[in-house]
Amino acid sequence: MALLITDECINCDVCEPECPNQAISMGPDIYRIDPSRCTECVGHFDTPQCVQVCPVDCIPVDPQHVETNATLWAKYRVLQLGAQKAAGEGVVPEPLSSASR
């Protein structure tokens, strides 16, 4: 599930720097979230950081981009692999499932 910034956004600028995937950017009038980069902070944090810092509670789940936790993990790995390749680093390992621990 990607998140969505609604038109209740007050452009306070606190969400953009909190996004570990650089999914948040300024749109024509308010901030926007790129659903292809939003993992709801899966792989980085337990909860979406933009939601945590938003003072007006204007960042719900985007109903047009509903994804499972497994899909969010896969997106996280793809984003990390792209970042590592750009930096000339190795591959991100898969997280251990609770069954394999």
pLDDT in tens, 28-38: 999 999 999 99
Q: In the chain, where are the structural domains located?
A: 16-90
Q: What is the pTM of this model?
A: 0.82
Q: Give the pLDDT of residue 60.
A: 97
Q: Which fold has domain 16-90?
A: Alpha-Beta Plaits (3.30.70)
pLDDT in tens, 1-60: 799 999 999 999 999 999 999 999 999 999 999 999 999 999 999 999 999 999 999 999
Our CA dihedral for 29, 31, 37, 40, rounded to 10 degrees, sits at -140
Q: Give the pLDDT of residue 101.
A: 44
